[in-house]
Structure 1
Amino acid sequence: MHTARVSPRHIAPVATVLDPADRAEVDRVGAGLYRTVHRDTVEDVLHDLRVRRVSAVLLSATRCCATELPRAMRVVHEFPRIPAFVLLTRSGTPTADDLLALGNCGIQHLVDVRTPDGWNRLREALAADVAHERDAEVAAELALDLQETPVDFSRFVQALFTDNERPRTVRTLAAGLGVLPSTLMSRFFRAGLPAPKRYLAYAGLVRAARMLENPGLSIADVAYRLNHSSPQSFGRHIFTFMKLSAGEFRRTHDGVRMMQRFREELIAPYRERIAWVSPLIMRPRGMRPKLPAAHH
């Protein structure tokens, strides 16, 4: 099967109010992950938030003087879904009172970028927020696919993508859904559906494919972010389910393509059987739904 090479997709811009000396460094560490729109005032950033998509806001602690604090508070309260970060840079050192005032504005993310590790933490934090934003988009798409499915099967699929602590095992997935792992696996098996482990793996690979669209994230970065023990372990995981190396997977699957495979391989062929399965509902002993015959 031939699959076209995919092109990296840039995320929405990151709006900043930084000292001129810090702008180039923010651009450098974000290459391939985010692009910046540098502004001179927080009021300019508020305008951007109203008229365009913005992934995050970066504010230099030294630029958020007393006159800018009310506007910084508006950023947080008028746009609560847009993460705002205050950066401690080498361009100046704010006082403890300055930092307290920023905290009182509602800004919860403070990143010290006076060392290289600080810039790495900033990139990782932004990558995590972008991934969360895209998880919400996936959940909205799935809601349309699952309109005709039983409510508890829909809950199962939604949990693969929307849990705050994304399940890595069938055990943790089942616990979050309030069902025994053995019960969950047994009901999928009796219904002739793919194992819950495959649904879980494909959902994880959707998220991995989205993250790998960012040239600024290496395969190792994504492996550790998804809690694999090593890049090699991540590679074996990809090969088990996709029969591709990690590099081939990156070249041929973006988030859209992987989500398409999730639908085509785990939802579409089983719609008739999914309509009869209730993997989460507790039933009296001995009462099982009559399922349509499996097709092999």
Structure 2
Amino acid sequence: MDMVTSSRAPRAVVTFVTPAEQQRVDALTGRGCVTVHRENLDQVLSDLRTHAVSAVIVSVSRYQQHYAPSVARLVREFPRVPAVALLSAYETRSSAALLSLGEHGVRTLVDTRDPAGWRELRSLVNAETPGSIDNLAIRTLRNDLATARSSSVRFFDTLFTVPRSMTTVQQLARYIGVVPTTLMSRFYRAGIPAPKKYLAAARLVRAAHLLENPGSSITQVSFLMEYSSPQSFSRHVSGILHMGAAEFRRRYSGEQMLEHMRQSLVLPYRQQLQTFDPFASPPQWLVQRRPDSERVAAPD
């Protein structure tokens, strides 16, 4: 199966497992997850550098001692991506393989010789990652806006659920079903920073999180975030934070960039955001005063 490249695609789990295990793993995945099977660990490392991967599964049966440097590199360069050892059959070399995997940083073992192990693996590959930056951002901002209108909260949820390919406020407006000029006008009238500032900040939160993996270069993250070039990404960072991409990487983790977004764009405007509705529907009195045959949605 080919790697999915669209940004808000199902979570990708990359495997290095036996053919029999491939079939079982495929049967476990739901609509929110896609498995990508590779024939060697170099391919797995390539996927980690060029795609957003939620987990890696390494078969104990396929593991050989000469793979140890690749496993160590995988764990070292991509610490944010869980690595799982899969044990489906015990062989004479299984103990040595398990010991080597553990020594080189693989901390999670799923033993599927018992049916409960397959259930555990199903939960692992299909579960939303509670520690993902998108989920953390949504939880944090919902807490900041606990008493705000649901439509205001929904806007911030959307910032962290849209595809990475959504790079402009015009695209965002169309995505949420609002005319772009109308969306910008609503923010202006409410005394809130322009929506493009929120979208840009959310994108930098995601980029900073990806850059936490030492194995991900600025160039690779630039393309993962769908900037036209590394130079475009650097200009974007400079325009918002007045620093280059390399300094951005040194200074900001995903959580630190989220905190910057909160302090600059959310908390100072919390009062306005309490009643803000970026999806504003027409006033009820305007709808009710028209005969049924004449009722239309007020234009955005």
What TM-score, normalized by structure 1, do the two folds share? 0.62
Aligned-residue offset at 1:255: 1.4
Deviates more, 1:257-266 or 1:68-77: 68-77
SS, match of residue 79 in structure 1: helix
Map of 1:283 onto structure 2: 282
Aligned-residue offset at 1:77: 2.8
Whether 2:83 is the aligned partner of 1:41: answer no
1:197 and 1:284 map into 2 onto residues whose CA distance is 26
Map of 2:237 onto structure 1: 238
Within the candidate set 10, 16, 20, 2:58 is matched to 16
Aligned letter for 2:87?
A: T
Structure 2: runs of 5 or more not aligned = 1-53, 91-104, 287-300
Map of 2:248 onto structure 1: 249
Percent identical = 35
Deviates more, 1:177-186 or 1:226-235: 177-186
What are the residue-to-residue correspondences of 1:147-186 with 2, within 5 Å?
A: 147-164=146-163, 167-186=166-185
SS, match of residue 186 in structure 2: helix
In structure 2, the CA distance between the partners of 1:181 and 1:37, relative to structure 1 (3 Å rule), is closer
Aligned-residue offset at 1:132: 8.8
Asked if 2 retains the 8 angstrom alpha-carbon contact of 1:14 and 1:56, the reply is: no
The superposition leaves residues 106-130 of structure 1 with CA deviations (integer Å, 9 ceiling, x where unpaired) of: xxxxxxxxxxxxxxxxxxxxxxxx8
Q: Name the count of aligned residue pairs.
A: 216
Aligned-residue offset at 1:184: 0.6
Asked if 2 retains the 8 angstrom alpha-carbon contact of 1:131 and 1:211, the reply is: no
SS, match of residue 184 in structure 1: helix
The superposition leaves residues 182-238 of structure 1 with CA deviations (integer Å, 9 ceiling, x where unpaired) of: 111000011111100000000001111111111111111110100011111100000
2:159 and 2:57 map into 1 onto residues whose CA distance is 31
In structure 2, the CA distance between the partners of 1:43 and 1:147, relative to structure 1 (3 Å rule), is farther
The superposition leaves residues 258-293 of structure 1 with CA deviations (integer Å, 9 ceiling, x where unpaired) of: 111111111111122222322112224998xxxxxx
Map of 1:113 onto structure 2: none
Map of 2:263 onto structure 1: 264
Aligned-residue offset at 1:43: 8.3
Aligned letter for 2:58?
A: T
Asked if 1 retains the 8 angstrom alpha-carbon contact of 2:84 and 2:108, the reply is: no
1:274 and 1:202 map into 2 onto residues whose CA distance is 17
Within the candidate set 62, 67, 74, 2:119 is matched to 74
In structure 2, the CA distance between the partners of 1:205 and 1:57, relative to structure 1 (3 Å rule), is same
Map of 1:8 onto structure 2: none
SS, match of residue 58 in structure 2: strand
What TM-score, normalized by structure 2, do the two folds share? 0.61
1:272 and 1:168 map into 2 onto residues whose CA distance is 28
2:193 and 2:201 map into 1 onto residues whose CA distance is 11
Map of 2:77 onto structure 1: 32
Asked if 2 retains the 8 angstrom alpha-carbon contact of 1:131 and 1:210, the reply is: no
What are the residue-to-residue correspondences of 1:24-173 with 2, within 5 Å?
A: 24-34=69-79, 39=85, 41-42=87-88, 73-81=118-126, 133-164=132-163, 167-173=166-172
Whether 2:256 is the aligned partner of 1:210: answer no
Map of 2:40 onto structure 1: none
1:172 and 1:69 map into 2 onto residues whose CA distance is 48
2:172 and 2:218 map into 1 onto residues whose CA distance is 25
Asked if 2 retains the 8 angstrom alpha-carbon contact of 1:171 and 1:181, the reply is: yes
Aligned-residue offset at 1:23: 3.6
Asked if 1 retains the 8 angstrom alpha-carbon contact of 2:84 and 2:107, the reply is: no
Aligned-residue offset at 1:57: 7.9
Aligned-residue offset at 1:239: 0.4
2:84 and 2:259 map into 1 onto residues whose CA distance is 36
SS, match of residue 31 in structure 1: helix
Aligned-residue offset at 1:75: 4.4
